Amino acid sequence: MDRMPPWADALLVPLISLVLAAILSALVIIGIGEDPVAAVTLMVKGALGSTYGWGYTLYYATNFIFTGLAVAVAFHARMFNIGGEGQAMLGGLGVALVCLYLPLPHWTLALVAATLGAAIFGAAWACVPAVLQARRGSHIVITTIMFNFIAAALLNYMLVNLLRPKGAMDPATAKFPAATNLPTLHDMLTPIGLNFSKAAPANVTLVIALLACLAVWLLIWRTRLGYEIRAFGHSETAARYAGISPTRITVVAMLISGGLAGLMALNTTMGEAERLVLNSVEGAGFIGIAVALMGRSHPLGVLMAAVLFGFLYQGGAELALWTNIPRELIVVIQALVILFTGALDNMVRMPLERLFLSRRRKEG
Amino acid sequence: MTTAPAIELRGISKAFGPVQANKDISILVERGTIHGIIGENGAGKSTLMSILYGFYKADAGEIFIGGQKTEIPDSQAAIAAGIGMVFQHFKLVENFTVLENVVLGAEDGRLLRPSLATARAELKALASDYGLNVDPDAVIADIGVGQQQRVEILKALYRQADILILDEPTGVLTPAEADQLFRILGRLKAEGKTIVLITHKLREIMEITDTVSVMRRGEMTATVRTAETSPTELAELMVGRKVLLRVDKTPAQPGAPILEIENLSVTDSAGVQRLRGVSLNVRAGEILGLAGVAGNGQSELLEVLGGMRTATGRITMNGQPIDLGGRHSDGQSRRARGIGHVPEDRQREGLIMPYSAWENSVFGYHHDPRWQNGPLMDNAGIEAAAQDQMDRFDVRPPNPRLAARNFSGGNQQKIVVAREIDRNPDLLLIGQPTRGVDIGAIEFIHKQIIALRDQGKAILLVSVELDEILSLADRVAVMFDGQIMGEGPAGSATQVGLGCLMAGLGGDDTRDMSGWTISDAAIIEEGTPDVSRIEAQLAEKHADASKEV
In this predicted model, what pLDDT tens digit does every residue of B434-490 receive, in sequence order? 877 777 788 889 999 999 999 999 999 998 878 888 889 999 999 988 999 999 999
Q: Does residue B78 share a domain with residue B161? A: yes
Task: State the total domains in chain B.
Answer: 2
- Determine the angle formed by the axes of helices A205-222 and A299-322, rounding to 10 degrees: 150
pLDDT value of position B369 = 92
Picking from B211, B239, B267, the residue at the C-terminal end of a domain is: B239
Q: Which residue of A has its CA nearest to B342?
A: A241
Q: Are B186 and B208 in contact (CB under 8 A)?
A: yes
Which among B315, B365, B296, B425 has a CA at the least distance from the CA of A243? B365
On the question of pLDDT at A334 being above 90, the answer is no
Interchain CB distance below 8 Å, A241 and B379: no
Q: What is the pLDDT of residue B539?
A: 57
- Most distant CA atoms of chain A, gap in Å: 77
Residue A167 lies in a domain: yes
pLDDT digits (tens, 9 = 90+) for B84-132: 999 877 889 989 999 989 888 877 777 778 888 888 888 888 888 887 8
CB contacts, 8 Å: B13 with chain A: none
Which residue on chain A is closest to B369 by alpha carbon?
Answer: A224
- Answer yes or no: is pLDDT of A79 > 70: yes
Calpha distance B233→B222 (Å, rounded):
11
The answer to whether the CB atoms of B19 and A1 lie below 8 A apart is yes
Residues of A in contact with B16 (CB under 8 A): 1
> Mean pLDDT across the stretch A115-144?
96
Highest mean pLDDT among A17-21, A261-265, B346-350, B446-450: A261-265
Calculate mean pLDDT across residues B65-92. Answer: 88
Interface touch B366/A360, C-beta < 8 Å? no
Is A355 within 8 Å of chain B by CB? no
In a domain, A307, yes or no: no
B330: closest chain A residue by CA: A243
**B307 touches A at CB < 8 Å:** yes
User: Which residue out of A241, A357, A358, A359 would a mutagenesis test of the B interface target, given it has the greatest number of B Cβ atoms within 10 Å?
Assistant: A241
In a domain, B232, yes or no: yes
Domain of B36? 7-239
pLDDT at B540 over 70: no
B372 touches chain A (CB under 8 A): yes
Cβ contact, residue pair B363, A238, below 8 Å: yes
**Mean pLDDT for all residues in chain B:** 86
Cβ of A328 under 8 Å from any chain B Cβ? Answer: no
Q: Both B186 and B269 in a single domain?
A: no
Q: Is position A40 within any domain?
A: no
Q: Decide: B215 and B198 in contact? Cβ < 8 Å.
A: no
A-chain CB neighbours of B306 within 8 Å are: 241
Handedness of CA B140, B141, B145, B147 (dihedral sign): negative
Does one domain contain both B499 and B526?
A: yes
Clarify whether residues B474 and B345 are in a common domain. Answer: yes
Burial B494-519 (b: 16+ CB within 10 A, else e): eebbbbbbbbbbbbebbeebeebebb
Measured CA to CA, the distance from residue B455 to residue A108 in angstroms comes to 62
Instruction: Tell whether A200 is covered by a domain.
Output: yes
Residues B282 and B192 occupy one common structural domain: no
Nearest to A240 among B16, B19, B308 (CB): B308
Contacts of A2 in chain B (CB under 8 A): 17-19, 406
Is position B412 within any domain? no
pLDDT for res B401 = 93
Among B352, B356, B365, B412, pick the best mutation site for testing chain A contact (most A Cβ within 10 A).
B352
Residue B548 pLDDT grade (very low, low, confident, very high; cuts 50, 70, 90): very low
Residue of B nearest to A355 (CA): B17
Does the CB of A222 have a partner CB in chain B at under 8 Å?
Answer: yes
Q: Which residue in B343, B353, B372 is closest to A241 by CB distance?
A: B343
In a domain, A219, yes or no: yes
Task: Check pLDDT > 70 for residue B63.
Answer: yes
Judge whether B354 is closer than 8 Å to chain A, CB to CB: yes
Q: Give the domain extent around A261.
A: 63-298
| In a domain? residue B365 | no
Q: What is the mean pLDDT of residues A242-256?
A: 96
In a domain, B397, yes or no: no
- CATH code assigned at B284: 3.40.50.300
Residue in chain B closest to A4 (alpha carbons) equals B17
Percent of chain A exceeding pLDDT 70 equals 98
pTM of the model: 0.81
A4 within a domain of the structure (yes/no): no
B376 touching A (Cβ < 8 Å): yes
pLDDT of B537: 57
Report percent pLDDT > 70 for chain B.
Answer: 93
Q: Is B228 part of any domain?
A: yes
Q: In A, which residues are within 8 Å of B352 by CB distance?
A: 230-231, 234-235, 238
Q: What is the pLDDT of residues B514-538, one digit of tens each?
A: 889 988 888 775 555 555 555 555 5
- The verdict on residue B373 lying in a domain is no
Average pLDDT, chain A: 91
Find the closest chain A residue to B382 by CA distance.
A222
Residue B382 pLDDT > 90, yes or no?
yes
Give me the interface pTM, i.e. the ipTM: 0.86
Q: Which chain B residues are within 8 Å of A235, Cβ to Cβ? A: 348-349, 352-353
Q: What is the pLDDT of residues B265-276, one digit of tens each?
A: 999 887 888 899
d(CA B276, nearest CA chain A) in Å = 23
Which pLDDT score is estimated for B311? 94
**Shortest Cα–Cα distance, A291 to chain B (Å):** 23
The pLDDT value given to residue A174: 93
The residue of chain B nearest to residue A218, with distances taken between CA atoms, is: B376
When pLDDT is cut at 50, 70 and 90, the band that residue B549 belongs to is very low
Position A305 in a domain: no
Cis ω before B397 (30° cut-off from 0) = yes
Residue B316, CB-side half-sphere exposure with 13 Å CA sphere: 10
Strand B163-167 and strand B287-291: the pairing is: unpaired
> How many distinct structural domains can be found in chain A?
1
Question: Under DSSP, is residue A201 helix (H, G, I), strand (E, B) or coil?
Answer: coil
Same domain, B317 and B457: yes
Residue B101 in domain = yes
Domain annotation covers residue B367: no
Give the end of a domain, one of B184, B212, B239.
B239
- Average pLDDT on A106-125 reads 96
Stretch A111-132: mean pLDDT: 97
* pLDDT digits 0-9 by tens, A45-75: 999 999 999 999 999 999 999 999 999 999 9
Residue B199 has what pLDDT? 83
- Which of B330, B348, B364 shows the shortest C-beta gap to A237? B348
B369 in reach of chain A (CB within 8 A): no
Inter-residue contact A18 to A340 (CB < 8 Å): yes
User: For B334-351, how does the pLDDT look when each residue is reduced to its tens digit (9 = 90+)?
Assistant: 999 999 999 998 989 999
Does B215 share its domain with B261? no
A to B CB pairs, distance under 8 Å: 79
CB contact under 8 A, A224 and B377: yes
B341: closest chain A residue by CA: A241
Query: How close A16 comes to chain B (CA, Å)?
Result: 23
User: B239, B270, B305: which is the final residue of a domain?
Assistant: B239
The 10s digit of each residue's pLDDT in B192-236 is 999 999 887 778 888 899 999 998 888 888 899 999 988 878 877
In a domain, A227, yes or no: yes
Cβ within 8 Å, pair A1-B330: no
| Average pLDDT, integer, range B156-181 | 84
Q: Do B201 and B347 lie in a common domain?
A: no
Task: Decide if A361 and B17 are in contact by the 8 Å CB cutoff.
Answer: yes
Helices (H) and strands (E) in chain B, counts: 18, 25
Interface of A with B in 161-220 (CB under 8 A): 218
For residue B397, the one-letter residue type is P
* Same structural domain, B232 and B261: no
Is A231 an 8 Å CB contact of chain B?
A: yes
Q: Phi and psi at residue B22, in whole multiples of 5°?
A: -135, 130
User: pLDDT (tens digit, 9 = 90+) per residue, B498-510?
Assistant: 878 887 877 777 7
Contact: B352, A360; criterion CB under 8 Å: no
The verdict on a CB contact (< 8 Å) between A357 and B18 is yes
Task: Give the neighbor-by-neighbor strand order of the sheet with B475-480.
Answer: B339-342, B427-431, B458-462, B287-291, B475-480, B483-489, B517-518
**Residue A274 pLDDT more than 90?**
yes
User: What is the model's pLDDT at position A1?
Assistant: 41
Say yes or no: B87 contacts chain A, CB-CB below 8 A: no
> CA-to-CA distance for A21 and A331, rounded, in angstroms?
13
Q: Is A245 on the interface with B (CB under 8 A)?
A: yes
Asked whether the beta carbons of residue B350 and residue A2 sit closer than 8 angstroms, the reply is: no
Q: pLDDT: is B20 or A119 the higher one? A: A119
Chain B residues 402-441 within an 8 A CB cutoff of chain A: 406
Q: Do B39 and B87 fall within a single domain?
A: yes
B283-291 mean pLDDT:
95
Whether A6 has its CB under 8 Å from any CB of chain B: the answer is no
